[in-house]
Structure 1
Amino acid sequence: MKKILMLGTGGTIACKRGKAGLKPLLTSEELLSYVPDMAGLCRIDSLQILNIDSTNMQPVHWLLIAETLERQYENYDGFVICHGTDTMAYTAAALSYLIQNSPKPVVITGAQRPIDMENTDARTNLSDSLRFASEEKAHGVNIVFDGKVIAGTRGKKERSKSYNAFSSINFPYIAAIQDNQVIFYLDDKDNCVRKVQFFHKINPHVALMKLIPSMGADVLDYMAEHYDAVIIESFGVGGLPAYDSGDFYKAVEKWTALGKTVVMTTQVTNEGSNMSIYEVGHTIKKEFGLLEAYDMTLEATVTKLMWILGQTGGEKNIREMFYRTINRDILWRM
């Protein structure tokens, strides 16, 4: 029988109704009391490390989760983290970079409704997560939600209320869980041959700018004073406005002259970017050597950049690490 550690961090799954709305109040031990049948599948210990709404999740909390798992890693066969859904994709991606090459599964789950409600997805999601964490073939960081197993770098919350809240973006599901059975679509644990590696630093000074028509580039000028890197969410396959004023050209020139990092991505959820297609993308990327996220999710792009800047500096090192595939995060690049 596998030995699993469940971490409680709060989120909707642990909420109870208060005067001002739902608030995380249930402990990890209380969550387990709602899935008593799981005691016959695996031995479960629980540990409460946070009890917050995931809207309040920050990089310091990602480090706390990773450090807790590192301390407990040799004592358990798998791990389940109960988490709020709103920033779950960011946490799953961040943990994919902070915990690499893990032959043991690290599962993130949560719910759209609190576990103590009669009509809730919480009990199913928690049971599925414990079941997946007990599987011999399971490894690495994954989200388990609504009967689907999603690579930690590929998850995105696409629905705010429905039980099928999460999708796997630009990558197939790892597995499905049906009738208490785990059906693997990708069975590649044999490729996990390197020793697990934990990282302990993140640089949170990464900004995101979402382009809208007529936006001025002075926002980038402000960001340059406060951030070490910026991710620009552009339109379609990617590009920057070529206004007559040349503002964006000058702003990007300023960023690169300061030795700071600019990453281009797309506002379109599926199929990724390709700045080489149109002149508005090709010219500026070639001239300034901008990084491009291609098929990566926004959540993976943000957290990977934070992780990279926490480990190293220098354009060459950042570029090499950004385009290195980690937990299935990037497959297509030029």
Structure 2
Amino acid sequence: MTTSGSKLLLIYTGGTIGMIREKDQGSLKAFNFDELLSKIPEIKLLDHKIDTLSFDQPIDSSDFGLIQYRELAQIIYDHYSNYDGFVVLHGSDTMSYTASVLSFMLENLSKPIIFTGSQLPIGDLRTDAKENLISSIQIAGLKQNGRPVIKEVGLYFEYKLYRANRTTKVNAEHFEAFDSPNYPSLIQSGVNLKVNYSAVKRVRKIKELVLHKDLEDQILLLKLFPGLNQKVFESLINIPCIKGIVLESFGSGNFKTDDWFVEGIRRKINQSVPVVNITQCSGGQVTMGKYYTSERLQKIGVISGSDMTTEATIAKMMFMLPKRLSMKVFKTIFEASLRGEVSES
């Protein structure tokens, strides 16, 4: 396994990691990423050829949407044949959403796309930015027998590389900001990089990269809570423009048993609006029909999100809705693993 000699593209989209603190006022501003090596001279020790590219207007991750997803995916697609891997610097707040969407937009991926960021600016004394960035570059350049070790979209933070579409942000203050509750880490960074080969994506045959730019964002995410009443529920699910609904249910997929709730969901499914059931719990999975409270909805065609994260579920729906599939085919494909986003039984 080698950790040198790769050609990598570093893409800055925005976020804390690309900021420096002005000495006089203490405010944060983005620095010129063409000067990256002068800010972090340790990167030279990695012996990689690193090019940098920044969004024309770096953006806070809270403002990311379809336009930015397409811009980022297009950049990677356009430069794909010229680089061995990519590192994307992104704000941590919605990093799991963007990384999950990219995993669906880029089909037949056989090179690493590593997302990373930081909780503190790169110029701060106690910053986590340098370690996250240096290790992400090292992982993106990691090869075995001349081929990349990582062949998927990953998210690196605080000594761990995760499959990106399995991650969620769990802490706004600690350096260990992300977790992958239902899938093991791909790499553990310590004195050496310890690769979990049983968890990383395997590519048996390299195929041409396919870019899917058609996405749909008219999606309702509804987190159930005790006391949700009929008027509020119906006012939300009956918004005319909604093309898909994601329900965060209780425990292993349990819902309210009121007739008005079940009938409301039935009407949307009959209108060819797919409804996906995922759990509010940080770990575990939905098991439709395990209890009576989910059995009724299973019978009317509610889709099981199994152990997918909210971020991956939204991303997958954005990706699949434009395909205009029948409800039966949509359900079958959604419940299957496309990019390793869900555990297969």
Q: Same fold (TM over 0.5)?
A: yes
Task: State yes or no: 1:81 paired with 2:81.
Answer: no
Q: Deviations over 1:108-127 (max 9, x none)?
A: 00000010111100010000
Query: Distance in 2 between the 1:223 and 1:283 partners?
Result: 18
Q: Deviations over 1:209-261 (max 9, x none)?
A: 01111102443443331210010111111122123xx2202211220121111
Q: Of the candidates 225, 237, 248, which is equivalent to residue 233 of structure 1? A: 248
Query: Distance in 2 between the 1:223 and 1:32 partners?
Result: 51
In structure 1, what residue type is equivalent to 2:225?
Answer: I
Q: Of the candidates 3, 7, 12, which is equivalent to residue 3 of structure 1? A: 7
Task: State yes or no: 1:304 paired with 2:310.
Answer: no
In structure 1, what residue type is equivalent to 2:237?
Answer: M
- Bigger shift: 124-133 or 100-109? 100-109
**Which residue in 2 is equivalent to 1:53?**
60
Task: State yes or no: 1:255 paired with 2:261.
Answer: no
1:190 Cα deviation after fit:
4.7
Unaligned runs of 5+ in 1: none
Task: Tell me, yes or no, if the aligned pair for 2:91 and 2:118 is still in contact at 8 Å.
Answer: yes
Query: Distance in 2 between the 1:190 and 1:267 partners?
Result: 30
Q: SS state of the match for residue 51, structure 1? A: coil
**Which residue in 2 is equivalent to 1:140?**
152
Task: Tell me, yes or no, if the aligned pair for 1:6 and 1:80 is still in contact at 8 Å.
Answer: yes
Query: Distance in 2 between the 1:63 and 1:32 partners?
Result: 28
CA 1:257–1:56 in structure 2 vs 1: closer, same or farther (change >3 Å)? same
Query: Distance in 2 between the 1:59 and 1:161 partners?
Result: 28
Q: Deviations over 1:125-148 (max 9, x none)?
A: 000000000001121100011110
Q: Of the candidates 109, 114, 138, which is equivalent to residue 116 of structure 2? A: 109
**Which residue in 2 is equivalent to 1:36?**
41
Task: Tell me, yes or no, if the aligned pair for 2:17 and 2:90 is still in contact at 8 Å.
Answer: yes
**Which residue in 1 is equivalent to 2:146?**
none
**Which residue in 2 is equivalent to 1:182?**
193
**Which residue in 2 is equivalent to 1:128?**
135
Q: Of the candidates 267, 273, 280, which is equivalent to residue 267 of structure 1? A: 280
**Which residue in 1 is equivalent to 2:330?**
318
Query: Distance in 2 between the 1:310 and 1:24 partners?
Result: 38
- Bigger shift: 313-322 or 147-156? 313-322
What's the RMSD between the two structures over aligned residues?
A: 2.0
Query: Distance in 2 between the 1:118 and 1:62 partners?
Result: 32
Query: Distance in 2 between the 1:191 and 1:47 partners?
Result: 28
Task: Tell me, yes or no, if the aligned pair for 1:207 and 1:227 is still in contact at 8 Å.
Answer: yes
CA 1:36–1:144 in structure 2 vs 1: closer, same or farther (change >3 Å)? same
**Which residue in 2 is equivalent to 1:222?**
236
Query: Distance in 2 between the 1:269 and 1:22 partners?
Result: 35
Identical columns (%): 29
Q: Deviations over 1:257-306 (max 9, x none)?
A: 211111111110101111211101012211x1110111111110110011
Query: Distance in 2 between the 1:182 and 1:14 partners?
Result: 25
Q: Deviations over 1:9-37 (max 9, x none)?
A: 11111234589996552233344433222
CA 1:220–1:125 in structure 2 vs 1: closer, same or farther (change >3 Å)? farther
CA 1:316–1:30 in structure 2 vs 1: closer, same or farther (change >3 Å)? farther
CA 1:220–1:177 in structure 2 vs 1: closer, same or farther (change >3 Å)? farther
**Which residue in 2 is equivalent to 1:25?**
30
The TM-score, its normalising length taken from structure 2, stands at: 0.90
Task: Tell me, yes or no, if the aligned pair for 1:203 and 1:306 is still in contact at 8 Å.
Answer: yes
In structure 2, what residue type is equivalent to 1:129?
Answer: S
CA 1:122–1:74 in structure 2 vs 1: closer, same or farther (change >3 Å)? same
Unaligned runs of 5+ in 2: 144-148
Task: Tell me, yes or no, if the aligned pair for 2:252 and 2:288 is still in contact at 8 Å.
Answer: yes
- Bigger shift: 310-319 or 6-15? 310-319
Q: SS state of the match for residue 63, structure 1? A: helix
Query: Distance in 2 between the 1:309 and 1:258 partners?
Result: 14
Query: Distance in 2 between the 1:238 and 1:64 partners?
Result: 36
Query: Distance in 1 between the 2:286 and 2:219 partners?
Result: 20
Task: Tell me, yes or no, if the aligned pair for 1:294 and 1:332 is still in contact at 8 Å.
Answer: no
Task: State yes or no: 1:154 paired with 2:160.
Answer: no
